[in-house]
């Protein structure tokens, strides 16, 4: 079946999370993704293993719908295979530490020279330019340096990381956008280009509204926040405040377990209706809350009243009650809630898969729905599962040529001398 990216072939050298999250999305959009791994494989194959000898869920959940080949990029024979693959691919993706591609002998200029149509898409912690360009990064380093940690938590907590992987998968999304744009430009110009996303830049982009408020601080305190901001020159940690023009917060629900909460947004034009439902006519006309300014001033009392009402209902009952009066409200769903949730099933967002070594398992589904392009999710490849297939089908190598490359150590570094050794 034709898919959005049918006909696009990707040489995917990415590892860990940030890069693989991007190439998995491109595979789900229909690209042929050939994951080029070092002979020992992407390190996440063995990270946090739950079943002995089976590739980890970490690897499995980020590498579906890909083919795997092993190529030793430190051997001459491996470099020779890479060179041939460059001729046959539309895109190379990588998220190595600074200088690794250069160390292989393949900086962007060289890749571009070899195949002017090819796109190179890279994720770096901090980009290839700038004072931090030589530094490596993981998710939480990016959250720390991109500003997210300093605004996450409560005023009396240390800076906190967010549970969503905005540094890794968030940067992966940025990279996919850049890749799709570069493919589109290539359609017009016939020329490939270098696409680079830095994790720090992506986190800053995702914290955009905090920069709005950072600049507003220069003009006085921010009344919508539940804590004073007078005299501040940087954004504080603001707990569960909505951070938008409309007030929002979490309230407790029945029976009071650790995830029995719901998030409520108080739209200005819905206050009367909300107040009427939780406190009757008296609250709906209470002058303390009649105006936005009044609700800002008296927000602690307002949340106390909403919380007294919500505590009598489960989080799902509370959502139903508020949705009946058109007030935005969401129960705080934990992973067990979501795994069983009817809506999640209907949206195909928690998909059961089979795997030769691990049996049944689940992956989070494809969050981008295209009406004319859909790809069934297939399990991740075993290490090197498709090496011979790719050499035959993509590079049209004969059995003898494959055997010769293997003997020279192109695919397996055990017992073979490296360049320069």
Ligand X SMILES: CC(C)(COP(=O)(O)OP(=O)(O)OC[C@H]1O[C@@H](n2cnc3c(N)ncnc32)[C@H](O)[C@@H]1OP(=O)(O)O)[C@@H](O)C(=O)NCCC(=O)NCCS
Residues engaged in binding ligand X (CB under 6 A): 16-19, 38, 71-74, 95-97, 100, 103, 123-125, 136-138, 168, 199
Closest to ligand X by CB, 45 or 124:
124
In Å, what is the CA distance from 68 to each residue of 41, 200, 416? 9, 29, 21
DSSP code of residue 219? G
Count helices and strands (H / E) in the chain. Answer: 17, 11
Q: Which two tokens stand for residue 32?
A: 């042929």
Minimum Å gap between C-beta 230 and ligand X is: 38
* Residue 184 neighbours by CB distance under 10 Å: 9
Contact 34, 9 (CB under 8 A): yes
Minimum Å gap between C-beta 142 and ligand X is: 8
Closest to ligand X by CB, 107 or 279:
107
Distance CA 79, CA 105 (A): 9
Looking at the DSSP assignment, which residues form a beta bridge with residue 32?
Answer: 9
Q: What burial letters (b/e) apply to 270-304, b meaning 16+ CB within 10 Å?
A: bbeebbebbbeeebbebeebeebeebeebbeebbe
Minimum Å gap between C-beta 282 and ligand X is: 54
Element of type H or E holding 81 = helix 76-88
Q: Is the dihedral of CA 31, 32, 37, 41 positive or negative?
A: positive
Closest to ligand X by CB, 103 or 130:
103
Contact 16, 95 (CB under 8 A): yes
Closest to ligand X by CB, 168 or 260:
168
Contact 376, 27 (CB under 8 A): no
Closest to ligand X by CB, 34 or 306:
34
Chain residue at closest Cβ approach to ligand X: 97
Minimum Å gap between C-beta 100 and ligand X is: 5
- Find the catalytic residue in 32, 55, 168, 241: 168
Q: What burial letters (b/e) apply to 79-103, b meaning 16+ CB within 10 Å?
A: bebbebbbebbbbbbbbbebeebee
Catalytic residue status for 168: yes
Minimum Å gap between C-beta 128 and ligand X is: 11
Distance CA 330, CA 262 (A): 5
Q: Which residues 6+ apart lie within 8 Å of 218 measured at CB?
A: none
Q: Which two tokens stand for residue 48?
A: 């946090």
Minimum Å gap between C-beta 339 and ligand X is: 24
Looking at the DSSP assignment, which residues form a beta bridge with residue 123?
Answer: 197
Minimum Å gap between C-beta 231 and ligand X is: 37
Q: Which residues are catalytic?
A: 168
């Amino acid at each position: 079946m034709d898919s959005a990216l049918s006909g696009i072939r990707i040489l995917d050298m990415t590892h860990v999370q940030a890069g693989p999250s991007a190439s998995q999305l491109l595979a789900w959009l229909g690209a042929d993704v050939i994951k080029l791994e070092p002979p020992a494989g992407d390190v996440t194959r063995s990270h946090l293993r739950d079943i002995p000898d089976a590739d980890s869920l970490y690897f499995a959940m980020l590498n579906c719908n890909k083919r795997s080949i092993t190529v030793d990029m430190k051997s001459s024979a491996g470099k020779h295979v890479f060179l041939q693959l460059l001729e046959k691919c539309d895109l190379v993706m990588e998220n190595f530490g600074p200088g690794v591609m250069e160390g292989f002998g393949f900086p962007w200029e060289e890749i571009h020279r070899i195949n002017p149509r090819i796109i190179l898409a890279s994720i770096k912690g901090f980009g290839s330019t700038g004072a931090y360009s030589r530094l490596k990064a993981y998710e939480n380093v990016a959250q720390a340096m991109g500003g997210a940690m300093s605004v996450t938590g409560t005023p009396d907590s240390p800076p906190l990381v967010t549970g969503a992987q905005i540094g890794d998968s968030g940067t992966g999304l940025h990279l996919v956008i850049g890749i799709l744009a570069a493919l589109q430009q290539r359609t017009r110009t016939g020329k490939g280009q270098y696409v680079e996303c830095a994790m720090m830049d992506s986190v800053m982009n995702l914290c955009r509204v905090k920069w709005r408020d950072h600049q507003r601080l220069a003009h006085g305190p921010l009344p919508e926040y539940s804590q004073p901001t007078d005299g501040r020159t940087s954004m504080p940690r603001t707990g569960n405040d909505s951070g938008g023009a409309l007030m929002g917060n979490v309230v407790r629900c029945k029976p009071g377990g650790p995830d029995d909460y719901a998030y409520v947004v108080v739209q200005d034009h819905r206050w009367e209706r909300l107040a009427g439902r939780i406190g009757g006519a008296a609250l709906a006309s209470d002058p303390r809350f009649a105006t936005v300014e009044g609700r800002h001033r008296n927000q602690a009392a307002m949340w106390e009243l909403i919380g007294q009402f919500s505590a009598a209902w489960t989080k799902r009952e509370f959502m139903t009650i508020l949705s009946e009066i058109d007030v935005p409200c969401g129960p705080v769903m934990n992973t067990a809630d979501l795994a069983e949730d009817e809506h999640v099933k209907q949206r195909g967002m928690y998909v059961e898969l089979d795997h030769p070594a691990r049996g049944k398992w689940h992956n989070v589904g494809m969050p981008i729905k295209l009406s004319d392009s859909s790809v069934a999710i297939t399990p991740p490849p075993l290490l090197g599962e498709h090496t011979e297939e790719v050499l035959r089908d993509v590079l049209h190598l004969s059995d003898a040529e494959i055997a010769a490359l293997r003997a020279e150590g192109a695919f397996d570094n055990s017992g073979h001398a490296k360049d320069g050794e």
